[in-house]
Structure 1
């Protein structure tokens, strides 16, 4: 398994809440969910669940009629009889009653012919039942994403659509929000004959016979006013006296060779070669621009590539100071590639851009699909645009990035509608986490004491409402899964979640679910009863925050505020800086124990008391905080939790410094600034405590051993009464194995040192930097640490006399060429060198950046990587190893596209869309016994990390 499989994950949140009120029961009412769990040539298995929505039943008889001649051959959990096509199932003798709101499930194996449609006439005791309508599935097959057309455009439209519990009534085709065609019968096709020139996003939306809808992933197409020349990137920087390049191609393949000529307007100091290019297809050709070495004023020229009968394309080339560092130019080149619409890093919604996790879609690591995105990506988007503002003085892109973050990944009032029902004196009901997934669902236990939330009231007073201002960690940008917003099936982006079940759950074991669970998908209780066990379930919303991303927003706001102030433009971004301080105020929820219990020496759920005031604050950046509540605004509950587990890689002392000491970033709450001042010291103490004898930083601490306030092994070292954990939060793979968590965390410490001279930060860096450099080689084939192995443990923390941690050791298991980690690592070295004058750190940091420049491609900077962990695509749950997606016995459900979830489900069977990915044959070959597939991925965070590393060098040394 690769080190990144869970490196970015926000995990192990047990969702909790008050028990909802149950509506007054009807006399007789029922809901039936019929799921085919397995199917072979002549037979199938199925599970049928009955939810009693009426009064309690003393004896029940479920009936249905098979539509295709199916026969029950074996049944369980009920008494089966079949007469002709009609099946009758009565309650087993040992379970005669079915209480109001209760669910019973039966299962059977059956025989079938070529067809196997589900029954539609379910009844209990002669009363017809409502079947939860499963949304149809739909896939757009035409047009092809990335295709181009010329006016007058005639764009073919085609889609495949299915409905597992009914029929597809129609398929609508949309360009953005505009209906362009409808077809009511298969094959579903159409033609868009009035497409205007421009960029368009085409989707197909299927509607079934009961009104449920589902939308396909979008296909981006371009309509040109005619045959067109294409040039990229659209903006190029060239040092005076040197050269730069751009690419020229044709949008569509010509019927015969086409000659393209280049014409210049603007400065004569800029010339291009060749000036004539001949195309027989759409392959790109490179043009070199040369700047005259005449020492004159810096010029700008536009090069227009044109051909007879073709729309031209233009590239603007700007001369820049020849003394500008190579890395400042590298920043502009990298920025232009990332922001080029043709590169595919963003999806555009109106005037706003949302970054994808990666350009590529077949991607499984913390997000389980490349066109999801994370709060991490948004924080890097802000960093990218802040750096652009520093270089150019243009802060409009930074403001646009902030607006996109606020609109699409910070839940709005409508997304968290019942926060006003939150009771800070009863923040959440306890549910233990478990080290194995087969211990889930976890039982809610109201007898375990919880503490009081000490910051809710002051946050409400400071900001005038009860809403939480923080990012949810994961969204489905294209609505690939089809959950939509609160079950509507269509809205994109959509809030989703994956991890929910303790330290053993890697991405390969997750079950995707909507953040707003309205029971429209999954099983009878949506996805809730996979994770928690309760007497009844209510429709609810729930969000999980990744504190390192929100802290990075604050870190970037500090940098942006300093840069804009130096330019006399602080007023341009004052609103965004103030909102970043607000985000930091709410980020304090990451400082508190999960259930607001007392910090220190917790060894059992019942003996660890609930806390009052700040006694539940550990003042560290924990792995998450989370909040949720009922979707029903008349319901009387909402909840919030923190987390007692803190990983060294999530600490951000620079953000703590900003919120504690910088006036523009002062939180509005009564105690926010004070809390962050305490956090700054506590974070630096923990990093010192976790530093190995070699220099690397060990895992972290927890106030809740195994997530259930258990008693740790005897002799476990402590930090302010919390227990050392070599790999906090997850074990698959071990969470502190990835070197990336070293550089992500220590970069913030190094930036704090450069900006403030903090001696505590320097002490940590003085030991970490030589260790890292000793395990690094630079050059085209650069090698940096990849996986780490730990032994021993730190000494119990003594703030007045810290130990030496002589027995805490780390070794580097292997090396790689991870470009994003290399860029972050370079930032550490450059920040440290700038303040300390350490020549080795400066040389190694610069050499890493130069090494990255040797791996450029048309989309950015990337290196190939082999994904041997992709053999887990088809894993099913293995009881002996506790690996594979675990589904509790008897639980069945469906994804919005109809993918079954049940016993024997695999990562792939719940995500069948991967089979349609253009890269899938490489994985399929691997699963069939071939070699592990190799991919060249362009992750947004990594490309932005590279760009901002170049910018940092220019800022310090340019």
Structure 2
């Protein structure tokens, strides 16, 4: 039997001046100057960092599992639904924030052991081992994967594989294998069931933890509420007669298989953290303590290049028609952006394997700091022959992308795709383009729209602000001049009262001008409005860090002062508790606990705990264990119409880590 390569891997859950031109980054030295360590500091801010750090690391507070080494949970609380559907799963995002947090700890204390330990935990728990990705030696770079069109809604799945659609060649697999002496991929899968709550274990053993799992597979309208959680290694032990595979992909026969999906923003964040760790440790004279970890970060960056490629390695630009758009050769399938994912998989028998990139790119996933590190810092340059040149190209391309997407007001619009509707369809007439890729105001997912959340703005522009601080790059400066003014105009803060309002949701209209690198347009037809505001802690912290890095380089005292006021407001007594920093969050969206999950008529199966997978299943019926959660009664009352929208004081790992790091940044940037 010919076993086709199953191309799964969708992932849920970041100055418009006519005369502005894109300039190459200005890098004066491999490692830019860092703030003085443990001498010229604002001691109060650094003390705040250490206080919150100790709360995060205290085992009694529940941020980490009891594995050895430990695993950070998505949140202390178990009942929480966002991109993760349960608080005690975790993500590559959380691991990357942990590594970044420990880099800051080394900066403040000169103790680099925890930084190395965090990377070691990531390597053990969320980067698949050779045994967990068998068969990569059978991978054929000339035929990376079999095409399966994406569809608009879950009820259009499974998607039929089509062996007749041309796909391109994978131009980096050979050099990666030659460089590292292995056919295996060194990158994080995005989602772990930390304590085996679902019961899959590893490869169906039912008991091992953490366990690789996945959720999103069925197009842009599949929200978290409409997913079927499934194991990353599917031996057909659970689910239906073909495990879970035939919920997503249609084929003549099905094989037991494994598949992993990488979230490029998380791997890039880990590289970004390694860059700063190296910068700070070098200033201390301690770089030898982290040299092995830095080498691993460079390796991760080598494989992260898979996110620079079209999903099926088709040519970039004007790629219309799955049958007519040709497969790429060499690097002409590379867009050089950080796309939404890359994925890889194969048979559990080791007989076949596949790999895919991703056609859509969201501005929020871009990380020019990682690109800077991987293209200019000797210790972080990946070893593969073409990697440094690729990352150098990516750095310039990412800055162009931000510039192309900057609205008239200053916020950054969604992104672009090389595959309209995930099927290489004809885009709407007049669609603006970026190197032949089509503007998409909500790349990848639509429920909710992927660029409605202001957090994408703060996350991504913080990286641009770091780049500006590290290099003085003129393009980064121009982007920030306009973005910072817009963000500050839409932010209010009462530091003494411990309250503030930052943008929460954004509305978009129009589109950018088609990109011309030699003559960038002014984007007078691309507009944003702030439609709601809130006190999201992690987003507020990311905004404050953006403002402070911008202020540290530009000398903008208003940005510096607003950053400080936001930190003071978050630190106010009314926002303090024994676990860290928290604010009241009302979750009206929890009405969707009762949402129906599409299961094709006639398809039946069971979850490991016996929950039935069949037509009429709901988010809760596939997760019946939620009924035992102590926070569930208020959710149940709300869903049943007998109670108000539930409220919580959540402690998300990434948000607490970001707040702590913001305190350290402020104390060291503004002594």
Q: TM-score range by the shorter chain?
A: over 0.9
Aligned to 1:808: 526
Distance 1:348 1:906 in 2: 32
Aligned to 2:589: 869
Conserved 8 A contact 2:150-2:159: yes
State the 1:353 CA deviation: 1.5
Task: Determine helix, strand or coil for the equivalent of 1:484.
Answer: coil
Conserved 8 A contact 1:17-1:428: no
1:487-502 → structure 2 map (5 Å cutoff): 487-502=204-219
State the 1:19 CA deviation: 6.4
The reply to whether residue 695 of structure 1 matches residue 428 of structure 2 is no
1:351-430 → structure 2 map (5 Å cutoff): 352-430=69-147
Task: Determine helix, strand or coil for the equivalent of 1:353.
Answer: coil
The reply to whether residue 790 of structure 1 matches residue 508 of structure 2 is yes
Distance 1:17 1:871, change over 3 A: farther
Q: Deviations over 1:692-730 (max 9, x none)?
A: 000000000000001110111100000000000000001
State the 1:324 CA deviation: 4.0
Task: Determine helix, strand or coil for the equivalent of 2:65.
Answer: strand
State the 1:348 CA deviation: 2.1
1:622-633 → structure 2 map (5 Å cutoff): 622-633=339-350
Distance 2:664 2:299 in 1: 27
Q: Deviations over 1:228-267 (max 9, x none)?
A: xxxxxxxxxxxxxxxxxxxxxxxxxxxxxxxxxxxxxxxx
State the 1:798 CA deviation: 0.6
Aligned to 1:919: 631
2:303 to 555, 579, 586: 586
Distance 1:367 1:323, change over 3 A: closer
More contact order relative to length (CA 8 Å, sep ≥ 6): 2
2:550 to 823, 826, 832: 832
Aligned to 2:66: 348
Conserved 8 A contact 2:225-2:619: yes
The reply to whether residue 899 of structure 1 matches residue 614 of structure 2 is no
Distance 1:505 1:409, change over 3 A: same
State the 1:839 CA deviation: 1.3
Aligned to 2:35: none
Conserved 8 A contact 1:19-1:536: no
Distance 2:155 2:266 in 1: 31
Conserved 8 A contact 1:628-1:640: yes
The reply to whether residue 529 of structure 1 matches residue 246 of structure 2 is yes
Task: Determine helix, strand or coil for the equivalent of 1:368.
Answer: coil
State the 1:619 CA deviation: 0.1
Task: Determine helix, strand or coil for the equivalent of 1:668.
Answer: coil
Aligned to 2:662: 949
2:561 to 805, 823, 843: 843
Task: Determine helix, strand or coil for the equivalent of 2:500.
Answer: coil
Distance 2:158 2:70 in 1: 38
2:200 to 468, 483, 503: 483
Conserved 8 A contact 1:17-1:429: no
2:318 to 595, 598, 601: 601
Task: Determine helix, strand or coil for the equivalent of 1:490.
Answer: coil
Distance 1:323 1:412, change over 3 A: closer
The reply to whether residue 620 of structure 1 matches residue 620 of structure 2 is no
The reply to whether residue 742 of structure 1 matches residue 454 of structure 2 is no
Distance 1:19 1:604, change over 3 A: closer
Aligned to 1:931: 644
Conserved 8 A contact 2:41-2:667: no
Distance 2:362 2:299 in 1: 24
State the 1:804 CA deviation: 0.3
Distance 1:460 1:467 in 2: 8
Which runs of 5 or more residues in structure 1 are unaligned?
1-15, 21-319, 877-884
Distance 2:268 2:640 in 1: 44
State the 1:325 CA deviation: 2.9
State the 1:499 CA deviation: 0.2
Q: Deviations over 1:451-500 (max 9, x none)?
A: 00000000001100000000000000000000000000000000000000
Q: Deviations over 1:529-563 (max 9, x none)?
A: 00000000000000000000000011000000011
Distance 2:39 2:523 in 1: 50
1:20-419 → structure 2 map (5 Å cutoff): 324-350=42-68, 352-419=69-136
The reply to whether residue 454 of structure 1 matches residue 171 of structure 2 is yes
Distance 2:580 2:562 in 1: 22
The reply to whether residue 777 of structure 1 matches residue 492 of structure 2 is yes
Conserved 8 A contact 1:338-1:943: yes
Aligned to 2:33: none
The reply to whether residue 472 of structure 1 matches residue 189 of structure 2 is yes
Conserved 8 A contact 2:147-2:161: yes
Distance 1:933 1:604 in 2: 47
Distance 1:400 1:347 in 2: 15
Aligned to 1:18: 4
The reply to whether residue 859 of structure 1 matches residue 576 of structure 2 is no
Conserved 8 A contact 1:17-1:629: no
Give the TM-score normalised by structure 2: 0.93
Distance 2:283 2:174 in 1: 37
State the 1:847 CA deviation: 0.8
State the 1:405 CA deviation: 0.3
Task: Determine helix, strand or coil for the equivalent of 2:518.
Answer: coil
State the 1:781 CA deviation: 1.5
Conserved 8 A contact 2:42-2:670: no
State the 1:761 CA deviation: 0.7
CA RMSD of superposed structures (Å): 1.2
Distance 2:116 2:66 in 1: 16
Aligned to 1:165: none
Task: Determine helix, strand or coil for the equivalent of 1:778.
Answer: strand
Conserved 8 A contact 1:373-1:474: yes
State the 1:322 CA deviation: 11
Distance 2:157 2:514 in 1: 33
Aligned to 2:386: 671
Task: Determine helix, strand or coil for the equivalent of 2:107.
Answer: helix
Distance 1:482 1:628 in 2: 21
Question: Rg: which structure is higher?
Answer: 1
Distance 1:323 1:540 in 2: 53
Conserved 8 A contact 2:506-2:530: yes
Structure showing the higher helix proportion among its residues: 2
Distance 2:493 2:136 in 1: 52
Task: Determine helix, strand or coil for the equivalent of 1:398.
Answer: helix
Distance 1:323 1:676, change over 3 A: closer
Task: Determine helix, strand or coil for the equivalent of 2:662.
Answer: helix
Distance 1:17 1:561 in 2: 45
Conserved 8 A contact 2:5-2:145: no
Distance 1:403 1:323 in 2: 30
Q: Deviations over 1:414-449 (max 9, x none)?
A: 100111110000000000001111110000001110
Task: Determine helix, strand or coil for the equivalent of 2:71.
Answer: strand
Distance 1:322 1:752 in 2: 22
The reply to whether residue 705 of structure 1 matches residue 423 of structure 2 is no
Task: Determine helix, strand or coil for the equivalent of 1:349.
Answer: coil
Distance 1:19 1:906 in 2: 30
Conserved 8 A contact 1:469-1:583: yes
State the 1:519 CA deviation: 0.2
Which runs of 5 or more residues in structure 2 are unaligned?
7-37
Question: What count of residue pairs does the alignment treat as equivalent?
Answer: 633
Aligned to 1:659: 374
Distance 1:407 1:453 in 2: 27
Distance 1:389 1:17, change over 3 A: farther
Distance 2:335 2:296 in 1: 25
